[in-house]
Structure 1
Amino acid sequence: MASAAVRRIKLGSQGLEVSAQGLGCARMSPFSGTPKPDSDMIALIRHAVGSGVTFLDTADVYGFSANEVLIGKAMKGGVREKVELATKFGLCYADGKWDVQGNPVYVRAACKASLKRVDVDCIDLYYQHRIDTRVPIEVTIGELKKLVEEGKIKYIGLSEASASTIRRAHAVHPITAVQLEWSLWSRDVEAEIIPTCRELGIGIVAYSPLGRGFFSVGSKLLENFSEDDFRQKLPRFQPENLAHNAKLFDRVNEIAQRKGCAPSQLALAWVHHQGNDVCPIPGTTKIENFNQNIRALSVKLSSEDMAELESIASADNVKGSRYDSSISTWENSDTPPLSSWSAA
């Protein structure tokens, strides 16, 4: 597929331009289990870039930092100049426990480490992966602003931040993009967060636009889960919710058949039709799945199609929350007021 098939969009109002669809790279470096061969993943990344999907999404925690190293290898040989590189900091895993960090010392150290792993001088878009609810957002963004001024990062992003946190952050330094879960079965962000981003001129990056793979094959997805796949613990995949959610997939699949596309392409097309300020970043480890996903850009949906999909997948018609209770505090998070901060 020629690169001309992938349109370009302006992500936010600060000057960043990206491919209209990105590539989520997290699953290329699993936390456990059998690692994917680097050669295969590098071939996939370069195939994506050659196809016009140049917006690559990684994070320092993916594969316990192995994913950033992989992306760095894939960008050798003149590929870096074609890529918009996004990575993240702040989500940490140590001694069997997850933590979130947003203090200035950590921010600077994390950025330095990511630059070294990816082997670049500057990160195009640097996100706070999750919000540290102990540190005022003004403090975290203040350090990121210094990194922009020093030329280490170009643009600042947030992920899973509340509307009030986004506003407070944007007042310190313009936020270019907010990454959030948005799909046919995750629509809670439409009430407050999406309108806030649009009011402030902030781009929207939709992760898990296929419902963590659910809109590819429905409940059959569970048959492919490995023993350590974290999705097994998610409420929406539990038996008490799955039967209901499977009916939602069946109805989406019926529309897809009418449209002559795969259900995954229809689900992605729905995200694309939300506006030119939205970039979904579906992830995959297979070139054939990438090729299928990219064809979603050519699926045209009428206002009637959109209304039908949204009536099926209304915000209250999906059973189960996005995360289990142990990590629900990561969703759309707030921080304490600046007046409460002590650097000591």
Structure 2
Amino acid sequence: MKRVKLGSQGLVVPELGLGCMGMTAMAHMDIYGKADETEAIATIHRSLELGGNFLDTADLYGPLVNEQLIARAIKGRRDDYLIATKFGWEIDDSDQITWQYRADKAYVRKAAERSLKNLDTDYIDLYYLHRLDPKTPIEETVEAMSGLVKEGKVRYIGLSEVSSETIRRAHAIHPITAVQTEYSLFERSAEETGILRTLDELGIGFVAYSPLGRGFITGELKSPDDLAADDFRRSLPRFQGEQFYKNLELLGEIQAMAVEKQVTTSQLALAWVLAKGVVPIPGTKRRKYLEENIGATEIRLSEEDLERLESIIPLGTQTGDRYDQANMQGIDQ
């Protein structure tokens, strides 16, 4: 895999990263099926063999156990990997999620020290604010994150699910390297709201989580009933009722194009994200899907191909919000 600059602060990453969230179970809910630690660690090692050393986690995942899994996977080879983790959902002293957002100065320090311990490392390559804390000015949060950079505990800082205004205010305090938001053929609000333009103007990189529409684009789901009873996707509007079947029709057109090109639908969708100059971090916990995803980096799409894909799901097409109503309120828009 070729390597690309993420932002303009010096971080260089493989053009496709690895989302690790689904590798561990999470607080009484199923994340994309059952976890298998042995296969997850093998997937991380296979990713490195193929040039994919950019791992994305968060203290929220588990909570904490996802970072601990990564620590086990990279033991003895820390410097071979680039680790991105996140904070911002409050986790209390009993390691329980309070489901409150918290990013005040004291908590930034506490969360970072805890992540360093769980990752068994003395530095984090890219440290993101996971969600904006409405009670704390972004300036205070970023100033605290900047302090971690000065101490060498964090190399670069990022933000997740924030508006252009918040990005500008944060960037004025300390250079932001990357912003992470959900982005795929089925979720293009980062374009609609002008976030991509803002990032381009400021020299900030863009990392796309769920570039396969939380697995929808793989085509494995034919009905909402294919989801396990405790699968968190059941709460997402994209996977519910009539909207699911409308989206399935759109997916059918993408699948037809993939067949023509003799690639998988997932590879075609990832090639589109890559062509946008974005670094996608598709999540998987299996080597088979990892290899398929990395195969997308070999696909070159023409302008005509890109236009055709975007005409299937034009900007503004209603495909369902990316979260339920309560969690949408946590997105800074």
TM-score range, shorter chain: over 0.9
Q: For residues 49-68 of structure 1, what are the structure 2 equivalents within 5 Å?
A: 49-68=48-67
Does residue 287 (structure 1) correspond to residue 282 (structure 2)? The answer is: no
The size of the alignment, in residue pairs, is 325
**Offset at 1:329?**
1.4
**Equivalence for 2:154:** 153
**Equivalence for 1:201:** 203
Give the partner amino acid of 2:275: H
* Secondary structure, aligned partner of 1:53: coil
Q: Structure 1 CA distance, aligned partners of 2:233 and 2:91? A: 18
Give the partner amino acid of 2:149: V
**Equivalence for 2:5:** 10
CA contact (8 A) 1:218 1:249 kept: no
Task: Provide closer, same or farther for how the CA distance between residues 266 and 127 of structure 1 changes in structure 2, counting only shifts above 3 A.
Answer: same
For each residue in 1:169-206, what CA deviation from the matched residue of structure 2 results, as whole angstroms up to 9, or x when unmatched? 00000000000111001111113101101100000000
Does residue 163 (structure 1) correspond to residue 164 (structure 2)? The answer is: yes
Q: Structure 1 residue runs of 4+, over 3 Å off?
A: 32-35, 92-97, 221-224
Give the partner amino acid of 1:13: S
Task: Provide closer, same or farther for how the CA distance between residues 93 and 214 of structure 1 changes in structure 2, counting only shifts above 3 A.
Answer: farther
Q: Structure 2 CA distance, aligned partners of 1:259 and 1:332? A: 38
Q: Any stretches of 5+ residues in structure 2 without a counterpart?
A: none
For each residue in 1:116-155, what CA deviation from the matched residue of structure 2 results, as whole angstroms up to 9, or x when unmatched? 0101010000000011112110000010011100111000
* Secondary structure, aligned partner of 1:243: helix
Q: For residues 129-278 of structure 1, what are the structure 2 equivalents within 5 Å?
A: 129-191=130-192, 192-217=194-219, 219-220=221-222, 222=224, 224-275=226-277, 278=278
Q: Structure 2 CA distance, aligned partners of 1:211 and 1:288? A: 19
Percentage identity across aligned positions? 47
* Secondary structure, aligned partner of 1:125: strand
* Secondary structure, aligned partner of 1:116: helix
CA contact (8 A) 1:209 1:267 kept: yes
Q: Structure 2 CA distance, aligned partners of 1:200 and 1:11? A: 12
Give the partner amino acid of 1:298: E
CA contact (8 A) 2:82 2:125 kept: yes
CA RMSD of aligned residues (A): 1.6
Give the partner amino acid of 2:17: G
**Offset at 1:41?**
1.4
Q: Structure 2 CA distance, aligned partners of 1:285 and 1:24? A: 9
**Offset at 1:40?**
2.1
CA contact (8 A) 1:100 1:131 kept: yes
CA contact (8 A) 2:224 2:240 kept: no
**Equivalence for 1:19:** 14
**Offset at 1:93?**
5.9
**Equivalence for 1:323:** 323
CA contact (8 A) 1:219 1:242 kept: no
* Secondary structure, aligned partner of 1:62: coil
CA contact (8 A) 1:11 1:176 kept: yes
Task: Provide closer, same or farther for how the CA distance between residues 93 and 227 of structure 1 changes in structure 2, counting only shifts above 3 A.
Answer: farther
**Offset at 1:220?**
2.3
CA contact (8 A) 1:187 1:314 kept: no
The counterpart of 2:88, out of the listed 73, 87, 90, is 90
For each residue in 1:247-272, what CA deviation from the matched residue of structure 2 results, as whole angstroms up to 9, or x when unmatched? 11000001111111011100000000
**Equivalence for 2:125:** 124
Give the partner amino acid of 1:87: T
**Equivalence for 1:337:** none
- The TM-score with structure 1 as length reference comes to 0.91
**Offset at 1:225?**
2.3
Q: Structure 1 CA distance, aligned partners of 2:21 and 2:226? A: 17
